[in-house]
Amino acid sequence: MKKVILKAKLKNRDDFEDKLSEIDLDFSAIYWQHDRIYLPRNYKKNSNYPRLVMRTEMKAVDKPAKYYLILKRHIEDSGVDIVEKTEIKDYETVVNIILQLGFRPTAEVSRRRQDLKMGEGTFIYLDKIENLPGYYAKIESVLTDQDSAVDARLDLQKTFETLGESNFIDAPYAEL
């Protein structure tokens, strides 16, 4: 799946939420995610190499955690992210496969997250990243074959600016 993703560090979480509430958009309940990020042994920054993420997600304390394997590849020259997400049952076995394929663990990111759907194929996430000050918002827009990544990114920037945010961040959370 092709996506354009834009993140911003929020000036004020409550103001951001209030502006969305004014247009009848409300976030989901808070849930927890923990990502373990793996890179290929020959990884070079800005080289379009894939990243693998093992995600643990807990949406409710009375339900079991869900586990996902996520393949991410950021295509630098287009600004598009290729993302494939698969639910897995046996976390330990998949981690062993990842290691045998030559990927190495590089970072871990824990967050409390809320989400909302903002139309067909567009999602906003409100994140509180463990060990980082403040709150972050991320908007993802799924691209069709007819969509322009440049136009989609401009639309996401306009959405953030309409909500009073302009402190855009290009780095993954693990690099902040």
pLDDT digits over 85-94, tens only?
999 999 999 9
> Whole-prediction pTM value?
0.91
Number of domains the chain is built from: 1
Domain containing residue 112: CATH number: 2.40.320.10
Residue 42 has pLDDT above 90, yes or no: no
Please tell me the total number of residues recorded for the chain in this structure: 176
Q: What whole-number distance in Å separates Cα of residue 80 and Cα of residue 2? A: 6
50-63 pLDDT per residue, tens: 999 999 999 998 99
Domain that holds residue 76: 2-175
Partners of 2 in the beta sheet?
82
